[in-house]
Structure formats: C-alpha cells, structure tokens
Structure 1
Amino acid sequence: MQEEKDSSTSWRTGSACPSTIRNSCGLIALLHAVANGEPRRHVTPGSDLAALLERADPLPPAERARSLQYSKGLESVYMDAAQMGDTEAPEAEDNVDLHFVAFVRGSDGTLWEMDGRRKGPLARGVLAPDEDVLSANALEMGVRRFLKAEIEGGNQDMRFSLICLGPGLD
C-alpha cells in the first residue's frame, strides 16, 4: 500500500504539513508525530502547542505551513531549542544534506509516512489494534522499507536518528 494523498484534511486524520521553514524538518517531523493519533491526546489543553495545532488543523496544506512559518510563539521556542545542546545550529540559509521523516499511527490504525518534501503523507498499511509504530509489522512497512529504499537508491551515507513518542518505561 503506497497511497500518497494531498494533505488537505485535518492533521488528526493522517495529514501532513509541507516543510517551508529552512532546516526545520526535525521540528516538522515532531509536529507530525504529536499532531496525529495517540500523541495528540497528550497535548495539554490550553497550551501554546494545543492552540497552534488547533489553529493549523483545519487549514489546507499551504496555509497550514504558513501558519507555522509565521507563528511568533513557535519561532521563539524553535530558536531557543536550536541554541541548546552541544551541536552548533546551522544558519537558516545553509544547505544541510540531512532530513527527518515521521512515521505515525493515525487514529484509524493507518501507518503514515510524513515527509515535508512530499505533496502529502504516504499510507504504508494498516496496523492491528494492538500494534504501535515499533511493532515488527510497522517497522517492516515503515522504517525498514524506507532504509532499504534509500540504500537501493544509492544512498551510501545512512546517518540517521530515531525518536519515538511513547509511554515511559518506568
């Protein structure tokens, strides 16, 4: 199953947002992960993030991207986070040959590949009710398929990080 769809529907139904902010694909991937499926239920009502998602949720893709691009609150949090840690943040104008993709389980069980470079999300298959994005089936439909396609496409530089939003282990 590889259905790429226009992301004109709500984030809550497996929709994506194009990445229009330079070098922000990690932020967009995290927003995709938080805005879709189970993680959305854990966004604190009334928080800045909840307000941002609620404003962007009903918008068509281009307007959704603009609402993020011109959000002063998001810009402030993004700039603060970019200055944290040990790695020097690239300048906004720098060409960075790295990219983030999010795999999220929609509320209907569909595993979505969210890539801000595409016109919309890709439906990778439907997960069983007891499966999450780290189940063997989801990894095969998502991350492993993605890595295999990258290698077969000639990408010999397989640097990547994996972030999972899930329950605590304690």
Structure 2
Amino acid sequence: MESAGDWCLIESDPGVFTQLIKKFGVKGVQVEEIWKIDDEIFDNLRPVHGLIFLFKYLQQDEPPLPVVKDKLLEKIYFAKQVINNACATQAVISLLLNCNHPDIDLGPELTKLKEFSMSFDPKMRGLTLSNSQTIRSAHNSMSQQTIFEFDPKVASKDEDAYHFVGYIPIDGRLYELDGLRDGPIDHGPIAPQQDWLDVVRPIIMKRINVYTEGEIHFNLMALVSDRKMVYERQIADMLKDPQSLGMDATEIDLEVRRLRSLIENEEVKMQRYQKEMARRRHNYLPFIVTLLKILAEEKKLMPLYEKAKERASKKGAKRMKV
C-alpha cells in the first residue's frame, strides 16, 4: 500500500469516534455503541445515519454480492483504502460523505474534500483522503500513549487483523462501504415503508455467524444525530405548540424534565470522553518506574511477580483443558 505518512491504530470506542468526528470539524452527529441489534436500542437513537462494524478480517472473506463499479460511483462517495491503519477513519468518513440529513454539518474540511474528489475514481479518492493533513492529524490525535516500542518485523504471523466497514442506506438501497474492496457492495433494495435497519440486521448477524463459536471480537457502532441537539429540539417543539401534543400541563412538564435529564447525561458523557482521552494520551511510564522501585525497595516486587506468574500459569492450564 502507498503511504502518506504514519497512521496509528484507533480503538473501537464510541468516545474516540465521536471526538474524531469533531476533530474533522463535523457538527450535529456522534457515535454510539450498539450492544445488541434490536428495535428497542435503535428506537432510542433515531435517526441512525449509518453503522460501523468492526470484525476479524479473513483473507478468504469474499463479498457476498458483486461490487458497484458503474456510474453509481458518481453518486456514491467510495474511497479505496490505500494506507495501513486508516480503516477506522475511512469507515466513518465514507458514512459522513454519503449522509444527506439536515442535522449533519460536514464543516469546511470534509465539504472541500468531497467537492474536490467526487469526480475521481475510488483509488484517487483514497489518495486524496490519505494526503489530507487535517484528516491524518485528527486520526493520529486519537492514538494511545505508547510506553514501549515494538519492532513490527518481529510481529507474530498469527496475529489477528481487524477491519472497519460501514453500512448505509443510499437512494433506497443498502450499501456496504469497505475500503479494501474495489467498490461499494450492493445489498439490495429497501422497501418504501421498510426501516433500513431491518435490512442490515440479518446481514451483520450472518457475517458474525461465519466465525467460530466463542469468537467475541466484534463491535458495532451507530452514527446518530447529536443526542443533546435532538433532545433540545424536542423540548423546543413541545413548548412551542403544547396543545397539539394531546398532553396536559403535568404530562408536558414531566416529559420536559425527562428530556433535560437526558441532556445532562449527554453533557456528563462528553466530559467523560474528554477525560478518557486525556488518560489515553498520558505517559504513565514515570509513575510505573517509580512504583516498581518502591516495591523493590520494600521487597514486595518479586513476591508479586511470582504470584502473577502462578495466576497466569493456572489460566493457561484451564484454557488448555477447555
């Protein structure tokens, strides 16, 4: 793969992705983790603009349907992944650039990127994305603090590789956007009155079922409208025309209180995301070295080491039995 500088690995975490999107300059959207694929969890997050799916990548994992390579690429923004470790950013940007919703403001950087490269072929779009200093800087700002450096040349050949793809409805059809393919994968039409999430649900479940029993290394996240913005809009609509709701004053007051409580929860969550990111970026090495020195001086280091070694050995033996 061609490179435009080093791109770090990004953790599959809704807080990381939400802050990454803000770094791009996008407004009106955030990312939420999905623990189970059912109507109830999606009902609390609507509108859902797209899904980001993380899975263990298999070399033999072929697309179930042919990829789109015709004139539809003039309407669908699909970029070929041309650099390593960029699939997380590639997945979220692919969704954002195919969203057409009034809640979402792409901001100047992504708007300029789309306008400049929309006429390009997928590979040239990928090269344009990879050469954006703003996008690469935003991507790398999400990296965790590395305490030790490892030589990639001695990495295990059996090491698992993971990959991000996106699912999104476009013009009444469901598409899978995977930067390692030559184009979008068309999963077929969405009926006029059908929820696109009902179409994508069995596709994701089928993909999960390909893997061996006990495999849990999957992650699903939803690209949704900014929850605080949605709740504030709901409050404004209620107070603007309360009579049309068919609710009495007490019911309206209770609902407004509930929505304000949800807004406070969102504010707390965003503060937590910022703290978690600060912890990811913090260098704990001086603290660890000092702690090890103190434990060694107090003759506690080796007993703790032996205890940890024994515990690891027991876990390994238990795993072998299973």
Please state whether the residue corresponding to 2:96 is helix, strand or coil: helix
- Distance (Å, rounded) in 2 between the aligned partners of 1:163 and 1:133: 15
* Residue 219 of structure 2 corresponds to residue 157 of structure 1: no
What is the DSSP-based 3-state SS (H/G/I as helix, E as strand, rest coil) of the residue aligned with 2:188?
Answer: strand
Say how many residue pairs are matched: 157
Could you list the per-position Cα deviations for residues 10-59 of structure 1 after superposition, in whole angstroms to 9, with x for gaps in the alignment?
A: 3xx334211112111111110111111435972345x2121122222221
How does 1:45-64 map onto structure 2 within 5 Å?
47-64=108-125
**Equivalent pair of 2:167/2:200 in contact (CA under 8 Å):** no
Alignment-derived partner of residue 125 in structure 1: 188
Residue aligned with 1:103, SS: strand
Q: Aligned-residue CA RMSD in angstroms?
A: 3.2
Equivalent residue number for residue 100 of structure 1: 164
- State the SS of the aligned residue for 1:163: strand
TM-score, normalisation: structure 1: 0.75
Give the equivalent residue in structure 2 for 1:14. 76
Q: From the superposition, tell whether residues 51 and 7 of structure 1 become closer, same or farther in structure 2 (CA, over 3 Å).
A: farther
Which residue pairs with 1:73 in the alignment? 134
Specify every segment of 5 or more residues in structure 2 that has no aligned partner in the other structure, as ranges: 1-63, 232-322
Amino acid at match of 2:142: A
1:74 Cα deviation from its structure 2 partner: 1.1
Identity %: 22
Q: How big is each residue's C-alpha offset from its partner over 1:35-89, in whole Å with a ceiling of 9 and x where there is no partner?
A: 11435972345x2121122222221111111101111111111111234xx899x
Q: How far apart are the structure 2 equivalents of 1:155 and 1:6?
A: 35
**Counterparts in 2 of 1:144 and 1:82: CA distance versus 1, 3 Å:** same
Matching residue's letter, 2:161: D
Q: Which residue of 2 aligns with 1:24?
A: 86
Determine which of 165, 175, 178 is the counterpart of 1:112.
175
Distance in 2 separating the partners of 1:126 and 1:58? 25
Q: Considering only CA atoms, is the larger Rg found in Structure 1 or Structure 2?
A: 2
2:97 to 35, 44, 48: 35
TM superposition score normalised by structure 2: 0.42
Provide closer, same or farther for how the CA distance between residues 60 and 155 of structure 1 changes in structure 2, counting only shifts above 3 A: farther
Which protein is richer in helix relative to its size? Answer: 2
- 1:51, 1:66 → 2: CA distance? 15
- The AA in structure 1 aligned to 2:218 is F
